[in-house]
């Protein structure tokens, strides 16, 4: 599974969009990009995933560059409850290990 | 996620004691996982199971053992606890891999905070 690089921390004003970047320059053709978040010592929560097309669900949008070497998670209207550590994970869609490799993630602080 | 429960939620024990952490799920998933998280770090995989009686080692299985006697239950044991096993432990479940990268989403329990003195 490809390695990912994320900024250590970011701030965002409440009500504004939070844009969290992730670099995955060694991603291979069959690997998906997954995003999870962890709110203060709770269990991580799945947010969204994608292969090459942009994806949107009720929680967030995922924008993947055309070369797939980077992606951005967008929380359109951040609230204080979105303060959390956000993990970008790359893994093969057909991987048999089931393993998620959690890096350090990005600590997002949403401020009033 | 209320569909994945862990017991106990907190435990303080002494060095050398045997400890069992329990995980139960009502999602009907085949796959279950145990992770540990140390302060300021990401999660690391201890063991995982793809089906009843199927057991696979993760990154850091030394000092741990697991049991999967039923689809809904996956237990983690520390045979002889030591202080550096003090950590937050998470259980997770997932469905089989499906097309489009679906099914690989993992659903986590609330965690067990274990302290070994």
Closest residue to A99, CB basis, from B41, B45, B109: B45
Q: How confident is the model at residue B96 (pLDDT cuts 50, 70, 90)?
A: confident
Q: How confident is the model at residue B100 (pLDDT cuts 50, 70, 90)?
A: low
Q: Residue B47 in contact with residue B62, Cβ under 8 Å?
A: no
pLDDT tens column, B19-63: 999 999 999 999 999 999 998 778 899 999 999 989 999 989 999
Residue A77 confidence (pLDDT)? 95
Q: Is the pLDDT confidence value at B103 over 90?
A: no
H helices present in B3-105, as ranges: none
CA–CA separation, A88 and A103 (whole Å):
8
B8 backbone dihedrals φ, ψ, rounded to 5° = -75, 170
pLDDT tens column, B73-91: 999 999 999 999 999 999 9
pLDDT tens column, A14-39: 999 999 999 999 888 888 899 999 99
pLDDT tens column, A34-70: 999 999 889 999 999 998 889 999 999 999 999 999 9
Q: Say if residue B99 is exposed, middle or buried (CB neighbours under 10 Å; 0-12, 13-18, 19+).
A: exposed
C-alpha closest to that of A64 among A77, A75, A51, A74: A51
Report CA dihedral (B87, B108, A97, B101) to the nearest 10 degrees.
-150
Return the DSSP state at B63: T
Residues of A in contact with B111 (CB under 8 A): 41-43
Q: Residue A15 in contact with residue A80, Cβ under 8 Å?
A: no
Residue A94 confidence (pLDDT)? 53
> Which residue numbers of B have CB closer than 8 Å to A's CBs?
1, 4, 31, 33, 41-45, 48, 50, 56, 58-59, 88, 90, 92, 94, 97, 100-101, 104-111, 113
């Amino acid at each position: 599974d490809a390695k990912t690089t994320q900024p250590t921390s970011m701030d965002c004003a409440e009500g504004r969009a939070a844009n969290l970047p992730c670099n995955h320059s060694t991603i291979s053709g069959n690997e998906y990009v997954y995003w999870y978040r962890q709110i203060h010592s709770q269990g991580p929560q799945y947010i969204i995933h994608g292969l090459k097309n942009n994806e949107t669900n009720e929680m967030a949008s995922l924008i993947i560059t055309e070369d797939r070497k980077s992606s951005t998670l967008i929380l359109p209207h951040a609230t204080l409850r979105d303060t959390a550590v956000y993990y970008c994970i790359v893994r093969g869609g057909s991987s048999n290990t089931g393993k998620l490799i959690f890096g350090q993630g990005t600590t997002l602080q949403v401020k009033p | 996620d209320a569909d994945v429960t862990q017991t106990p939620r907190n435990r303080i024990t002494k060095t050398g004691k045997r400890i069992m952490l329990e995980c139960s799920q009502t999602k009907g998933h085949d796959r279950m996982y145990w992770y540990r998280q140390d302060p300021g770090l990401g999660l690391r995989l201890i063991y995982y199971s793809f089906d009843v009686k199927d057991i696979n080692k993760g990154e850091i299985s030394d000092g741990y053992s697991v049991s999967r006697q039923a689809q809904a239950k996956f237990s983690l044991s520390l045979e002889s606890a030591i202080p550096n096993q003090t950590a937050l432990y998470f259980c997770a479940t997932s469905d089989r891999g499906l097309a489009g990268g679906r099914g690989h989403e993992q659903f986590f329990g609330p965690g067990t905070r274990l302290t070994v003195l």
